[in-house]
Amino acid sequence: MRPPLFLLLCEYASVGKDQTCTIVRGGIERWSSELPLVASLSLYCQIDAGALLKGKHNATMEVVSPQGLVLFSAGLLVDILNPDFPARFVVPFVVSVQSYGKCVVRVQVESLPTAETNLIVEEGSSK
């Protein structure tokens, strides 16, 4: 069974008031770069219809380095306007990565299971 919280790492993403989405270069999983890598990204998040009740819900997002250090952390307030439809939100962030390996991007929204995606930083010179 698919988790009720879906994450997509993007170069840029936005969600309009009518819940329409704009996603630029979505599905980033690997990034080739010299270190340190300073990346400006967006995390697109979608909560399944019916997973949360109408109202405001606390959430957290963090990016963790291959060594377990928290590189970025943010507290969020997710507003579920109509629980009969999927809720979408975007977290723009800038992260500085100092070593190669797998960074974990993690989101927790109240009672939902924690969702994770990865960003693998590899030695190289371009995205």
**pLDDT reported for residue 45:** 94
Query: What is the tally of structural domains in the chain?
Result: 1
**pLDDT reported for residue 1:** 66
Domain ranges, residue 65:
5-123
* pLDDT by 10-residue block (mean), the chain, 127 residues: 88 88 89 91 95 95 96 94 92 94 95 94 75
CATH of the domain at 19: 2.60.40.2550
DSSP character string of the chain: ---SEEEEEEEEEEE-TT--EEEEEE---EEEEPSSEEEEEEEEEEEPTTSS-SEEEEEEEEEE-TTS-EEEEEEEEEEES-TTS-EEEEEEEEEEE-SSEEEEEEEEETTSPPEEEEEEEEESS--
**pLDDT reported for residue 105:** 96
Query: Taking the model in full, what pTM does it have?
Result: 0.90
Tokens standing for 67?
Answer: 């060594």
**pLDDT reported for residue 67:** 94
**pLDDT reported for residue 125:** 66
**pLDDT reported for residue 70:** 97
